Amino acid sequence: MAEGAAEALTDSGGDGDSGVSASERGVAPIKAQYRTTKEEFHGFLEAKGKEKVHQEREAGDHEDGSDLAEPEAKKIRLEDGQGESTAESQKRARGQNKARPHVKPTQYDKDRFCPALIQDPAAHCSYGDRCRFLHDVARYLESKPADLGPRCVLFETFGRCPYGVTCRFAGAHLGPEGQNLVREEGVACTVYAQLVRNGLDKALQQQLRKRKVSFERAEQALLQLSQDPAPAPAPSITSATSAPENNSCDAQPDPAGLGAGTPPSSPERTCGPLTDEDVVRLRPREKKRLDISGKLYLAPLTTCGNLPFRRVCKRFGADVTCGEMAVCTNLLQGQMSEWALLKRHACEDIFGVQVEGAFPDTMTKCAELLSRTVDVDFVDINVGCPIDLVYKKGGGCALMNRSAKFQQIVRGMNQVLDVPLTVKIRTGVQERVSLAHSLLPELRDWGVSLVTLHGRSREQRYTKMADWQYIEQCAKVASPMPLFGNGDILSYEDANRAMQTGVAGVMIARGALLKPWLFTEIKEQRHWDISSSERLDILRDFTHYGLEHWGSDTQGVEKTRRFLLEWLSFLCRYVPVGLLERLPQKINERPPYYMGRDYLETLMASQQAADWIRISEMLLGPVPPNFVFLPKHKANAYK
């Protein structure tokens, strides 16, 4: 259907009105028969959208909620006319939407069911009549919105849905009296607990909030650093393994995190040889080496690099994954939202966490806490974050100009960690003042196992291409310490050119957001002309993973939808291979308006938030009343 529209545009001379030539700089070279104008593109989508809504209404389905007006804060970007834009409008259309409207998912439920009765409505609530939630199942079901579908992912995967009557797909597992059906007794809790690790123990959270957790090793390391500021020579590393071995017998869990600094006061039963690992820590030369040379490394991506997205990338061939950036002070305070960033799925065989901080004491204590409580293969320090909130506090890129504090942070963390320590940096802070080449030898001497270099400065952001010539120079300076390169990789040709610079491997960030199947393309050395139905299946898998991770109740569904919409703000920039005049697509080339080979491919090319909402409704049902979505970055939606 969209092919016919594209052919009609070609026959009527629509290509000349598009204002896009194949050689136009910064614009993806799309074949002439697919190019169109802004007005015809949105007219086609609106006409098809109204046709689908009319068909759904005739079939008795729920009314589509995607025809929502864009918020006022976005109109300057969406309604930019043909005239010249003012400096004020350009300024407002850049950066983050800090004042974007946000509705908590809990507000979508007017009458919430008591959490104590979700599994068993006949159970007893300890609050009794003082409880502010509903206890009557029949009354709750009367006010509950209609189910979003006939199948519950959690029930089909684990045999039991832990959200019971509150599940938005509850019809699949509710009995006649509202009881929660179980296909295999107890399988849900046990299986999911094994699949996802690194959760925060409630007892430890209370101790962190009350500041009752002792950090003896961190304090000893900080004291030693204050007395001996000179770095020790780098030890020689002889072992070579990609990840620490998992041995459940040798590991003695300490959920409270209190017993790591002193010997046990009473004998404990063990299931293997008694060791002194709880008393004597590994020295730097005894740490197992992080050998991931030549592997594909998925970058830690704030907001979009969540666990469901990482599962999608692992399925397409990502070798190394890393959690989103976590702020060390929030981890030390026991904030659940921050600890959620450390969670690891069983499919992530080589996994690390990334932390950010500005001061040696908090970073070293955080490293000791992570060493006690989470199962990771490495810990990464974020020295590349460019945002003002982090930079002005002395963290992120600012550490590159604070070499004394940077040194204390690296040496302190390295001393208390049992796993390798890695660092992610940029070329520097200012565009024309590169610092990475001078820092790399020092990082090697401080004991860093691996460094990732993003070929841009903080000041530059994404205004220019990554400087791979500078990365090549840095790879020689860093040797024998492995250096990974990062920046502008969107095809296997880009990855091949990057590897020719002498780096140990490549980290992929925005390229994975635009096309997560990029890992498959690199490993198979081919361009994949993926169809729109296959791309929709990828999104469907993401929603299934999201419902498993965040839950299938209203709160979990809307959280899954929000992260899906954030990801769609990047996915819309991908141009299908079959539509390009030349291959490959460059990451800095914006797609012009074009008609896809079918309606779904055209819809996925839309850079309007309302169309992303329409896609989310295909997978997660209609949005709640008064739903509004605004992308995290102002540059992520156009009309």
How many C-beta neighbours within 10 Å does residue 246 have? 9
Name the phi and psi angles at 421, rounded to 5: -110, 130
HSE-CB of 365 using CA atoms within 13 angstroms = 23
Residue corresponding to tokens 């026991």: 334
Q: What is the 3-class SS of 345-382, one letter each residue?
A: ECCCCEEEEEEECCCHHHHHHHHHHHHHHCCCCEEEEE
How many C-beta neighbours within 10 Å does residue 298 have? 26
* C-alpha to C-alpha distances, 179 to 140, 146, 156, 166, nearest whole angstrom: 13, 18, 17, 11
CA 52, 547, 164, 64: dihedral to nearest 10 degrees? -20
Locate 485 and state its tokens: 């390169």
Among 366, 385, 397, 474, the active-site one is 385
Measure the CA–CA gap between 363 and 356, rounded to whole angstroms: 8
How many C-beta neighbours within 10 Å does residue 444 have? 18
Chain centroid to Cα 301, Å, comes to 5
* C-alpha to C-alpha distances, 244 to 104, 197, 351, nearest whole angstrom: 40, 16, 11
Cα angle value 139/145/148 (rounded, 5°): 135
Measure the CA–CA gap between 125 and 137, rounded to whole angstroms: 14
Q: Judge whether 385 counts as a catalytic residue.
A: yes
Type of residue at 223:
L
Locate 341 and state its tokens: 């960033």
Element (H, E) at 483: strand 483-486
Measure the CA–CA gap between 421 and 383, rounded to whole angstroms: 13
Sign of CA dihedral 371, 375, 381, 385: negative
Show which residues are catalytic: 385
